[in-house]
Structure 1
Amino acid sequence: MIEVRGYQNRRVAVLGLGRSGLSVARALMSGGAEVQAWDDSAEARAMAEQAGLALTDISRPGALEGVDLLIVSPGIPHLYPAPHPVIAAAWEAGVPVDNDIGLFFRSLGHADWSRHDSPPRVVAVTGSNGKSTTVALIRHVLAELGRPVQLAGNIGRGVFDLDPPEDGEVIVLELSSYQTELARALTPDIAVFTNLSPDHLDRHGGLGGYFAAKRRLFAEGGPDRAVIGVDEVEGRFLANQIAMGAADDRVIRISSGRKLSGPGWNVFARKGFLTEWRKGRQLAAIDLREMRGLPGAHNHQNACAAYGALRALGVGPRDIERAFRSFTGLPHRSQLVAEAGGVAFVNDSKATNVDSAAQALRAFPRIRWIAGGLGKEGGIAALGPHLGNVVKAYLIGHSARDFALQLGSTPYEICETMARAVARAAEEAEPGDTVLLAPAAASFDQYRDFERRGEDFIACVKQTLARREGTADRD
């Protein structure tokens, strides 16, 4: 655990007692703070009490009197579509509002680094898509090289559940817009921006607010190095805002699909090859085409982002290439779960929006596509240009019939359930096909979260293949 510094014998309220809320409450108590914890959910309060937290209803009028700080969990709205009443009360009472990420950076800054020969460093990754794969890839490469590394944030552990960093350790954080928007301190050594596509627009008051939330990671603390995806206009704007000139190599620009030129530091992927250019000359190239853990252009973009961060940490190109080859991917993100009879089964349950589903649909040549769930605004209409590789769609969940109306001439079947969709896709698949779960929808109509949906897909694939093998044995 990393203790919260600077709040000994002071009163701190914690609103929201999920993973991050429980983590920060424990860290505050360990650092000597007087914690007043609360959650609107009775179930969450019961779990917090089981974990040994004393509860105080901070939603009562006047409950924030004498409180020095309010810590808010990421999922709680603080501005749009409307501020939570406790946050509004904190504003009226003059109580500073922060989250666990801001408190983490402030606590880390209080740490005694003098005992380290090589001070620990923090790499923080944000963006719309690819964050999880990028941070996992950075962690994988460093671990393969025997360097101490920990992963936290929007993936894995809460930031305060990290172990105190050792000499030369790298802390890799995945940060969502919910986390960067409210944090009062954001001071990573290296900050990474993968890309931007519309998401969470109601929470941020539109696309501009969404981008502004992510931009704070680069504007608040000023990282030593910034790795920025420039395939969208927002990334190009951000890179220009930071760089002092064309040759300023504090900014590493990355792209998937186009060559980057100029005297600065550039990393790009084209036709399956990752290339690094710096000061007008090529330094390295990596063939990504046969790396099974990094299929498709979207994963090549993730590879560029991870490569840029690793180079900023001083890792050599050949060491990065060797470690890339052993990366198997993350669960529920272009995860190869089985191959049988020349047919691949790929779990991309994390593809919960149109943009991430489009990336998955471009990654494989012949696709039996399992899609559907709780559709988002606009459905899958925007996926029309990306359906060329889809042999047939197998639609599940609440939005199955709505999605069917937006498929144009693409063949489809309404399957309703995951079990039927997997069985039908496997039955009709031919050698060279990929049965791909890329829902383009939220999971909450049938599943608790996208992880549970992906696990069901894997279970259904195993059951289907086992039945097929049993039938073959009987024959």
Structure 2
Amino acid sequence: MIPVQGFDGQKVAVLGLGRSGLATAAALKAGGATPLLWDDSPESRARAEAAGWTCHDLTRNDAFEGVAALITSPGIPHLYPTPNRHIARAMAEGIPVDNDIGLFFRSWATPEWDNFDTPPRTVCVTGSNGKSTTTALIHHILAHAGRPTQMAGNIGRGVLDIDPATDGEVVVLELSSYQTDLARALTPDIAVFTNLSPDHLDRHGGPGGYFAAKRRLFAEGGPDRAVIGVDEPEGIYLANQLAMRREDDRVIRVSSARKLGDYGWSVFARKGFLAEWRKGRQVASIDLREVKGLPGAHNHQNACAAFAATRALGLSPRLIEEAFHSFAGLPHRSQTIAEKAGVRFVNDSKATNVDSAEKALEAFDNIRWIAGGLGKEGGVTALRAHLGKVKKAYFIGHSGRDFALELAPLAHEICETMEAAVAAAARDAEAGDTVLLAPAAASFDQYPNFEKRGEHFAELVARLPG
């Protein structure tokens, strides 16, 4: 646990009593503060009370009397589409509003660091797609190299739930736009921007607000090194804003689409080969085609970003390449779960939007595609240009029939349920085919989250004869 600094002897309200909220309350208490817990959900309050906490009703007129700050969970809106009433009241009364990420950065460094030979460092990863894989890959490379490391944030443990720093440790954090948007302190040593595609637009008031939330990690965070994916206009803009000149090697540009040899420092992948260039010449190369845990161009972009971040930490290309080959990938992200009678079954349940589904469809051949769920704004017509490898689609969930209409004349079957889709795809599949779950939709019509959807797919595949 990271005891929160700066609130000793003060009352701090905590709004939202999920995993991060309860970890925040414990960290505040460990730092000498008095946490005042609240959640509008009676079930969440009951769970907190069962864990030994006392709730403090923020609906009372005097609820914020003497409160030094309000710490809110990331999922609670503070501005768009409508501010949560407790956050709006705190802001109106002049009470600072923060989240656990802001508390982490104000509390991570301690006087004990003066005794370390090597100061601990933080690597923060944000973006629309690939940030979980990139975060996990950076963490895996560091562990493979024998460097002390922890992983937290939007993946693994909550940031305040990790252990205090050790000499030379590197903490790798995955940060969503919800987390970077409100944090009052952001001071990463290395910050990574993977890419940007439309998502969470209602929460941020449109694409500009969404990008601005992620940009804060760089513009206000002031990292020593910035690893920037430049395959979209926003990444090009961000790299341009951060670099003082073309040769500025504090900005490492990353691409999975084109050569980037003319900058101070760049890492790119073309035709399955990763190349690192510095000051106009190539200094390293890795063949990514046989790295089983990182299939497809989208994962090659993740590999480039992780390579750049760990090179900035001083690791050698040879050591990074070794770690690539031992990386198993993350569950629900282009994860090969089985091969039966020459048919590959891939779980990419995390492909919840059009952009991530597009990348999955480009990564495999001879695809039997399982898609559908709770469709997102804008539909899936943008995927028409990426169906060349799809032999047949098997549509499920609330938006299954809409997907079929939008993607006509794609060969398809309306299956409604995952059980029917897996059975139909397995029935049709031939040796050399890939049965790919890449829904291009949220899961909430049939599952509580994308993880449960992916787990159900894996369970059904496991039952197939084999």
Same fold (TM over 0.5): yes
Structure 1 residue aligned with 2:367: 367
Looking at structure 2, the residues matched to 419 and 111 of structure 1 have their Cα atoms a distance apart, in angstroms, of 56
The reply on whether 1:388 has 2:394 as its aligned counterpart is no
Judge which range, 102-111 or 349-358, deviates more: 102-111
In the alignment, is the contact (CA less than 8 A) between 2:404 and 2:410 conserved in 1?
no
Aligned length: 466
Residues 217-236 of structure 1: pairs in structure 2 closer than 5 A: 217-236=217-236
The reply on whether 1:104 has 2:104 as its aligned counterpart is yes
Specify the code of the residue in structure 1 equivalent to 2:53: L
Structure 2 residue aligned with 1:452: 452
The reply on whether 1:94 has 2:80 as its aligned counterpart is no
Looking at structure 1, the residues matched to 412 and 183 of structure 2 have their Cα atoms a distance apart, in angstroms, of 45
Looking at structure 2, the residues matched to 428 and 277 of structure 1 have their Cα atoms a distance apart, in angstroms, of 46
In the alignment, is the contact (CA less than 8 A) between 1:123 and 1:190 conserved in 2?
yes
Residues 407-426 of structure 1: pairs in structure 2 closer than 5 A: 407-426=407-426
The reply on whether 1:195 has 2:198 as its aligned counterpart is no
Structure 1 residue aligned with 2:327: 327
Structure 2 residue aligned with 1:437: 437
Any stretches of 5+ residues in structure 1 without a counterpart?
470-475
Looking at structure 2, the residues matched to 283 and 52 of structure 1 have their Cα atoms a distance apart, in angstroms, of 56
In the alignment, is the contact (CA less than 8 A) between 2:370 and 2:393 conserved in 1?
yes
- Local SS of the residue matching 2:104: helix
Specify the code of the residue in structure 2 equivalent to 1:416: E
- Local SS of the residue matching 1:68: strand
The reply on whether 1:307 has 2:314 as its aligned counterpart is no
- Local SS of the residue matching 2:40: coil
In the alignment, is the contact (CA less than 8 A) between 2:195 and 2:235 conserved in 1?
yes
Specify the code of the residue in structure 2 equivalent to 1:165: A
Looking at structure 2, the residues matched to 64 and 303 of structure 1 have their Cα atoms a distance apart, in angstroms, of 47
Structure 1 residue aligned with 2:344: 344
- Local SS of the residue matching 1:192: strand
- Local SS of the residue matching 2:67: coil
Structure 2 residue aligned with 1:472: none
Cα deviation, 1:254-286, whole Å, max 9, x if unaligned, reads: 000100121410000000000000011100000
In the alignment, is the contact (CA less than 8 A) between 1:273 and 1:285 conserved in 2?
yes
Looking at structure 1, the residues matched to 458 and 381 of structure 2 have their Cα atoms a distance apart, in angstroms, of 27
In the alignment, is the contact (CA less than 8 A) between 2:108 and 2:164 conserved in 1?
no
Specify the code of the residue in structure 1 equivalent to 2:297: A
Specify the code of the residue in structure 2 equivalent to 1:414: I
Structure 2 residue aligned with 1:248: 248
Specify the code of the residue in structure 2 equivalent to 1:135: T
Residue 406 (structure 1) shift:
1.0
Change (3 A) 1:6 1:454: same
Let me know the Cα RMSD of the aligned residues.
0.9
In the alignment, is the contact (CA less than 8 A) between 2:148 and 2:166 conserved in 1?
yes
Residues 2-401 of structure 1: pairs in structure 2 closer than 5 A: 2-401=2-401
Residue 59 (structure 1) shift:
2.5
Residue 109 (structure 1) shift:
3.6
Specify the code of the residue in structure 2 equivalent to 1:255: S
Residue 300 (structure 1) shift:
0.2
Residue 125 (structure 1) shift:
0.2
Cα deviation, 1:324-362, whole Å, max 9, x if unaligned, reads: 011110000000000011110000000000000000000
Looking at structure 2, the residues matched to 261 and 458 of structure 1 have their Cα atoms a distance apart, in angstroms, of 42
In the alignment, is the contact (CA less than 8 A) between 2:247 and 2:265 conserved in 1?
yes
Residue 376 (structure 1) shift:
0.7
Sequence identity, in percent?
71
Cα deviation, 1:436-455, whole Å, max 9, x if unaligned, reads: 00000111111110000000
Specify the code of the residue in structure 1 equivalent to 2:320: I
Looking at structure 2, the residues matched to 138 and 263 of structure 1 have their Cα atoms a distance apart, in angstroms, of 23
In the alignment, is the contact (CA less than 8 A) between 1:73 and 1:99 conserved in 2?
yes
Looking at structure 2, the residues matched to 198 and 116 of structure 1 have their Cα atoms a distance apart, in angstroms, of 43
Looking at structure 2, the residues matched to 165 and 248 of structure 1 have their Cα atoms a distance apart, in angstroms, of 31
In the alignment, is the contact (CA less than 8 A) between 1:257 and 1:271 conserved in 2?
no
In the alignment, is the contact (CA less than 8 A) between 1:422 and 1:457 conserved in 2?
yes
In the alignment, is the contact (CA less than 8 A) between 1:14 and 1:38 conserved in 2?
yes
Structure 1 residue aligned with 2:406: 406
In the alignment, is the contact (CA less than 8 A) between 1:38 and 1:45 conserved in 2?
yes
Cα deviation, 1:272-309, whole Å, max 9, x if unaligned, reads: 00000001110000000011100000000000010010
Looking at structure 2, the residues matched to 209 and 256 of structure 1 have their Cα atoms a distance apart, in angstroms, of 26
Residue 409 (structure 1) shift:
1.6
Residue 42 (structure 1) shift:
1.1
Looking at structure 1, the residues matched to 58 and 32 of structure 2 have their Cα atoms a distance apart, in angstroms, of 20
Any stretches of 5+ residues in structure 2 without a counterpart?
none
Cα deviation, 1:221-253, whole Å, max 9, x if unaligned, reads: 310000000111111111111111111100000
Specify the code of the residue in structure 2 equivalent to 1:381: T
Residue 420 (structure 1) shift:
1.2
In the alignment, is the contact (CA less than 8 A) between 1:371 and 1:439 conserved in 2?
yes
In the alignment, is the contact (CA less than 8 A) between 2:261 and 2:281 conserved in 1?
no
Change (3 A) 1:115 1:15: same
Looking at structure 2, the residues matched to 373 and 226 of structure 1 have their Cα atoms a distance apart, in angstroms, of 36
- Local SS of the residue matching 2:123: strand
In the alignment, is the contact (CA less than 8 A) between 1:358 and 1:386 conserved in 2?
yes
Specify the code of the residue in structure 2 equivalent to 1:207: P
Structure 2 residue aligned with 1:473: none
Specify the code of the residue in structure 2 equivalent to 1:284: A
- Local SS of the residue matching 2:274: strand
Residue 49 (structure 1) shift:
1.1
Looking at structure 2, the residues matched to 386 and 51 of structure 1 have their Cα atoms a distance apart, in angstroms, of 49
Change (3 A) 1:202 1:263: closer
Specify the code of the residue in structure 1 equivalent to 2:173: L
